[in-house]
Chain A
Amino acid sequence: MAKQNKPQHAPDTGHEWDGIRELTNPPPRWWMITFHASWIWCVVYFILYPSIPLVHEATKGILGWTQIKELKEAVAENDKVKAPYLQKVAAMDGQALLADAGLRSFAESSAKAIFGDNCAACHGAGGEGAPGLFPSLADDDWLYGGDINTIIESITDGRRGDMPAHEGMVDEADIEKLADFVIASAEGKGTPEGLALFNDTGCAGCHGENAAGGAINELGSGASNLTDGIWRFGGSRDEVLRTIRYGVNQEGVANTRIAIMPAFGGKLSPEAIKMLAVKVHEFGGGK
């Protein structure tokens, strides 16, 4: 500190330029304390933490701290917080989970990342699907059933649509008539003649006598309701013709529709699937 407040009398280094002398007043004590504390801090830090970059890797530091370890600890901490809720989810069935507002919300939030990782690539981040390729999960048209338990089943075991290719099996003229009929019936204008042909050519076997889908859905063929406004593979005449001609998932048939939902039972835990099902159910079409 400035021990000598009168510069004329202050001790100097003997250096003098044009009458200006370099004094030897030391810096204030608090400044020196801060200075020493700072470099001591540095040294301690360098010893405790990874710090000095060497050729292949940096020094490890005696605390053994690493970022990945810190991340893992944080994840473990998070898992610990979630564990009691997950236990409750495991113990409840889908219906009960939907009825509990708090757990339903927990399930939806937890399933957000799982949905993004596993489902969104095909079905879209909001379950909106991709027209003609992947079905929407947000509408009320379900090929296999839209209640929570059926959704759980669909995710666990996967689904595989099946529709025979009718090219060669049915007259070309009849195929055209059938296409006209289903397009008309989607608008509620299906003719009785069309419906008769529909039944004669065996379509009703899966799609129901009135083309409105049927109990057969629960058997797992995924035959869609042809009287509603939603088209699984596109509603233009060309698209409908293609579907009738080449069917769905027919081996060896070029141009056949592909409609395969993989099974997630081996990949995701039952709780994760249950929570995913809640999220899907809450997109807006759940029954």
Chain B
Amino acid sequence: MSEREQEPVEQMYKDAVHWHVNTGGETIHAKRMPGRFRSYKWYASVLWVLYLLTPYMRWDGHQAILFNIPERQFHLFSITLWPQDIWMLSLVLILLAMTLFGVTAVAGRVWCGYFCFQTVWTDWFTWIEDKIEGNPVQRRKLDEAPWSARKLRLKLLKHAIWLLMAVITGITFAAYFTDAFELWQRYLTLDAPPVAWVVLAAFVFGTYVFAGFMREQVCFWLCPYARIQSVMVDKDTVLPTYDEMRGEPRGKAKDKGNGDCIDCRLCVGVCPTGVDIREGMQEGCITCGMCIDACNSVMDKLDRPRGLIRYASRKEMAGEVLPPLFRRPRVITYCTIFLLAVSGIVYGMTHIPPIELSIVHERQPLYIQMSNGDIQNRYTVKALNKTPATLHMQVSLSGATGLAIVDGGQEIVLEPGKMIPAHLFLVAHPGALTAKKVTVNFVLESVESPHIRMEYESVFMAPGGR
């Protein structure tokens, strides 16, 4: 083979010198350093502390947030959502998606870096690890050391606390679906239903394995949102970025002619996913800003200006000025959809009908001729009473001529939370009808509270008509 032919292949190998894929072969022991972004991370954790506490909150004598699946009712404070209102869920999902998209377009993977449960639980788990086994150097040494009474004690303690946290996470999740206090009691007396045990087992396993062992591997290889968010980033998006112009060539601080980067690798040491931010934006970066804190602390020590690694967009790095937020098409689009979803949810929440009503016209037979020649149609009333009280609904017709309700304007009793189908019959003398198919308007009015009034349009069918 000639040398010329071999060259491209050698070039490929040379290009691939930095080729490093973190497939979990080594445990990443990230150093924990105080700083601005470290504080942000703690503040964001509060969101998840709320998750852990919410099930114990009460409202009007019931659990404030309760997803009661067997009874198909979702309680959100004073609002009760029925399966019929589930369309709002799609708006909530759109809203969450738009929040994610919008924030990602502006500031990158903020969700990943600060709010994601994977990030937060991993952070809590490594914090425990740090408290028990010591700093990353001590941890690596402990991992490599042969088994001893001390190692066994430390490892047992750590895993016990991890498992306890996993159990609490699981019970908390299950507590959103049933009464939290009763659930604890049933778990503790080993009396919980099988589904509760399955949920708990799944969550304990998931939390313990994902936060304790897989950690950044989840972000690298399991999580689809990590990949989705990467494509939402553009040249305007601010991301933790290494200022190459200022930093390179990197080298020892005492050597003259080097850039500001002293190649201390502290930015790599603090990174929870083990990436080197100086190689540029990459899939492993969850934009948590730990490297910024680390680098700033080094720059402070060297009396060099902060911000060698900083939140900046590619445009800023190229010396361009960022357009204001409201002039960016993506931001405008995401915000518009966001606002539409919010208004839909607000409308839905404030306009939940007290009764879910449908009046179904019988199709087989469409009509029946009675012995006196009248035509009778049968309707099935399906009304779900979403109020907490029994309702007596008076049925009448509006705007219909020649039609009468059999047993004239009977009452339908609606028990709370129940839907018992009832029948209604309309009769008409064939001569009184104007067409084969007449539109009828049923009006249901509550005897107890007249403001509860429902209308429902249906049809009356007859064989002849004029």
Enumerate chain A interface residues (CB-CB to B < 8 A): 1-3, 5-8, 18-20, 28-30, 101-102, 105, 108, 124-128, 136, 138-141, 225, 228-230, 282-285
On whether A101 and B23 interact (CB within 8 A), knowing A7-B16, A229-B371, the answer reads no
Query: Does B365 lie within 8 Å of A6, measured CB to CB?
Result: no
Q: Confirm or deny: B413 has a beta carbon within 8 angstroms of a beta carbon on chain A.
A: yes
Residues of A within 8 A of B221 (CB): 30
On whether A138 and B378 interact (CB within 8 A), knowing A2-B21, A284-B425, the answer reads yes
> When the two chains form the complex, which single residue of B1, B25, B362 contacts A29, counting CB atoms closer than 8 Å?
B25
Q: Please give me the residue from chain A that is nearest to B18 by CB atom.
A: A5
Query: Does A6 lie within 8 Å of B17, measured CB to CB?
Result: yes
Q: Please give me the residue from chain B that is nearest to A229 by CB atom.
A: B373
Query: Does A230 lie within 8 Å of B365, measured CB to CB?
Result: no
Residues of B within 8 A of A2 (CB): 20-21, 23, 25
Query: Does B23 lie within 8 Å of A138, measured CB to CB?
Result: no
Q: Confirm or deny: B313 has a beta carbon within 8 angstroms of a beta carbon on chain A.
A: no
Query: Does B365 lie within 8 Å of A124, measured CB to CB?
Result: yes
Query: Does A124 lie within 8 Å of B13, measured CB to CB?
Result: no
6 smallest CB-CB distances across A and B, nearest first, come from A228-B371, A126-B364, A128-B365, A28-B23, A1-B25, A141-B371
Query: Does A105 lie within 8 Å of B25, measured CB to CB?
Result: no
On whether A30 and B420 interact (CB within 8 A), knowing A3-B25, A140-B370, the answer reads no
Query: Does A20 lie within 8 Å of B25, measured CB to CB?
Result: no
Residues of A within 8 A of B217 (CB): 30
**Residue of B16, B21, B221, B420 contacting most chain A CB atoms (<10 Å):** B420
Query: Does B20 lie within 8 Å of A5, measured CB to CB?
Result: yes
Q: A28-B25, A125-B364, A284-B376 are in contact. List 5 more A-B contacts (CB 8 A).
A: A2-B21, A141-B371, A229-B370, A282-B423, A283-B378
CB neighbors of A among B3-32 (8 A): 5-6, 9-10, 13, 16-17, 19-21, 23-25
What is the minimal beta-carbon distance from B168 to any residue of chain A, in angstroms? 27
On whether A230 and B369 interact (CB within 8 A), knowing A1-B24, A2-B23, A19-B1, the answer reads yes
Tell me the complex Cα distance, A30–B23, Å.
8
Residues of B within 8 A of A230 (CB): 369-371
Residues of B within 8 A of A228 (CB): 371-373
Tell me the complex Cα distance, A3–B413, Å.
74
Query: Does B378 lie within 8 Å of A229, measured CB to CB?
Result: no
What is the minimal beta-carbon distance from B1 to any residue of chain A, in angstroms? 6
Q: Please give me the residue from chain B that is nearest to A127 by CB atom.
A: B365
What is the minimal beta-carbon distance from A254 to any residue of chain B, in angstroms? 31
Q: Please give me the residue from chain A that is nearest to B9 by CB atom.
A: A19
Residues of B within 8 A of A5 (CB): 19-21
Residues of A within 8 A of B371 (CB): 139-141, 225, 228-230
Q: Confirm or deny: B299 has a beta carbon within 8 angstroms of a beta carbon on chain A.
A: no
Tell me the complex Cα distance, A173–B45, Å.
101
What is the minimal beta-carbon distance from A68 to any residue of chain B, in angstroms? 24
> When the two chains form the complex, which single residue of B9, B20, B423 contacts A20, counting CB atoms closer than 8 Å?
B9
What is the minimal beta-carbon distance from B23 to any residue of chain A, in angstroms? 4
CB neighbors of A among B92-127 (8 A): none
What is the minimal beta-carbon distance from A69 to any residue of chain B, in angstroms? 20
Q: Confirm or deny: B422 has a beta carbon within 8 angstroms of a beta carbon on chain A.
A: yes
> When the two chains form the complex, which single residue of A19, A126, A136, A141 contacts B5, counting CB atoms closer than 8 Å?
A19
Query: Does B24 lie within 8 Å of A101, measured CB to CB?
Result: no
A-B contact pairs, 24 of them (CB 8 A): A1-B25, A3-B25, A5-B20, A5-B21, A8-B13, A18-B9, A19-B5, A19-B6, A19-B9, A29-B23, A30-B221, A101-B413, A105-B421, A124-B364, A124-B365, A126-B362, A126-B363, A127-B365, A128-B365, A136-B365, A138-B368, A139-B376, A140-B371, A141-B370
CB neighbors of A among B410-438 (8 A): 413, 418, 420-423, 425
What is the minimal beta-carbon distance from B433 to any residue of chain A, in angstroms? 16
> When the two chains form the complex, which single residue of B13, B362, B376, B418 contacts A7, counting CB atoms closer than 8 Å?
B13
Tell me the complex Cα distance, A101–B371, Å.
27
Tell me the complex Cα distance, A230–B375, Å.
12
> When the two chains form the complex, which single residue of B9, B23, B372 contacts A1, counting CB atoms closer than 8 Å?
B23
Tell me the complex Cα distance, A186–B6, Å.
106
Residues of B within 8 A of A141 (CB): 370-371
**Residue of A18, A28, A102, A138 contacting most chain B CB atoms (<10 Å):** A138
What is the minimal beta-carbon distance from B212 to any residue of chain A, in angstroms? 15
Residues of B within 8 A of A140 (CB): 370-371
Query: Does B365 lie within 8 Å of A101, measured CB to CB?
Result: no
On whether A136 and B368 interact (CB within 8 A), knowing A283-B378, A284-B425, the answer reads yes
Residues of B within 8 A of A136 (CB): 365, 368
Residues of A within 8 A of B21 (CB): 2, 5
Residues of A within 8 A of B5 (CB): 18-19
Q: Please give me the residue from chain B that is nearest to A141 by CB atom.
A: B371
On whether A138 and B25 interact (CB within 8 A), knowing A18-B1, A105-B421, A284-B376, the answer reads no
Q: Please give me the residue from chain A that is nearest to B363 by CB atom.
A: A126
Tell me the complex Cα distance, A5–B22, Å.
10
What is the minimal beta-carbon distance from B27 to any residue of chain A, in angstroms? 12
Residues of A within 8 A of B20 (CB): 2, 5
Q: Please give me the residue from chain A that is nearest to B25 by CB atom.
A: A1
Q: Please give me the residue from chain B that is nearest to A188 by CB atom.
A: B373
What is the minimal beta-carbon distance from B197 to any residue of chain A, in angstroms? 20
Query: Does A101 lie within 8 Å of B378, measured CB to CB?
Result: no
> When the two chains form the complex, which single residue of A29, A138, A229, A282 contacts B365, counting CB atoms closer than 8 Å?
A138
